[in-house]
């Protein structure tokens, strides 16, 4: 699976030796879980920690210049795992996770800074994987805001419906809501359908 992916991107990157893939989405849609899986496939090392608490990733995480030798030609891949994007962050949303008011306010402030950073770094991405939770309604302010910003900067987009391993997943409604984008359904936690995602990335290039 990974060998086919690398072989495909080698053909796509005849004029460019470096590619940055950005992972975007609302909090807790599985961005870091997917970025970890891809980084493990490529390097054997994860990119960041995962938590059920919203806004676990509050600062952009990079795995830079992954040297991939494909048939004697080196391709450099950069993985950019973005903080979760939300239209607003209320510190009170963190209180149920056994945080003090001070801790919750600090986390909220960091989350807001992370959202600003995520939007600012859009221009660094050569391609964006926009992730949506297949168990939730896809028409959200987060998804609309993200897709609008990426389109405005003409960043190629692949829409990824995640968590298809859950029984209440409805990936079809994600696809139907944003039918203008290339679409893949996966489970980042189990690895289901990762071959299709690698194929979509290579094709998009």
Q: What tens digit of pLDDT does each residue of 121-138 get? A: 888 899 999 999 999 999
Q: What tens digit of pLDDT does each residue of 92-129 get? A: 989 999 999 999 999 999 989 988 988 888 888 999 99
Greater confidence (7 vs 55) lies with 55
CA distance 38 to 129: 12
On the question of pLDDT at 59 being above 80, the answer is yes
Write out the chain in H/E/C secondary structure: CHHHHHHHHHHHCCCCCEEEEEEEECCCCCHHHHHHHHHHHHHCCCCCCCCCCCCCCCCCEEEEEEEEEECCEEEEEEEEECCCCCCCCCHHHHHHHCCCHHHHHHHHHHHHHHHHHHHHHHHHCCEEEEEEECCCCCCCHHHHHHHHHHHHCCCCEEEEEECCCCCCCCHHHHHHHCCCCEEEECCCCCCCCHHHHHHHHHHHC
**Host domain of residue 21:** 2-204
Could you report how far apart the first and last alpha carbons of the chain are, in Å? 17
The pLDDT, as a whole number, for residue 7 is 63
Q: What is the CATH classification number for the domain harbouring 12? A: 3.40.50.300
Number of domains in the chain: 1
Average pLDDT, the chain: 87
The pLDDT, as a whole number, for residue 147 is 94
With bands split at pLDDT 50, 70 and 90, how would you rate the model's confidence at 33?
Answer: very high
- Contact in structure between 201 and 9 (CB atoms under 8 Å): yes
The pLDDT, as a whole number, for residue 170 is 96
Determine how β-strand 157-162 pairs with β-strand 61-70: unpaired
């Amino acid at each position: 699976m990974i060998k086919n992916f690398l072989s495909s991107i080698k053909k796509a990157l005849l004029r460019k030796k470096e590619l940055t893939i950005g992972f975007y989405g609302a909090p807790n849609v599985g961005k870091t879980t997917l970025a970890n899986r891809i980084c493990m496939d490529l390097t054997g090392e994860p990119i960041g920690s995962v938590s059920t608490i919203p806004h676990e990733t509050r600062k952009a995480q990079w795995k830079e210049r992954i040297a991939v030798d494909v048939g004697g030609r080196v391709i450099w891949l950069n993985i950019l795992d973005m903080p979760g994007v939300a239209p607003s962050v209320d510190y009170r949303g963190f209180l149920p996770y056994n945080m003090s008011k001070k801790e919750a306010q600090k986390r909220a402030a960091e989350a807001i800074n992370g959202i600003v950073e995520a939007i600012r770094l859009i221009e660094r991405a050569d391609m964006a994987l926009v992730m949506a939770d297949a168990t939730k309604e896809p028409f959200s302010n987060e998804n609309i805001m993200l897709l609008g910003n990426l389109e405005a900067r003409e960043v190629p987009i692949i829409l990824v419906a995640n968590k298809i391993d859950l029984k209440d997943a409805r990936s079809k409604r994600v696809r139907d809501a944003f039918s203008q984008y290339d679409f893949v359904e996966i489970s980042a936690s189990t690895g289901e359908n990762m071959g299709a995602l690698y194929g979509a990335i290579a094709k998009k290039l």
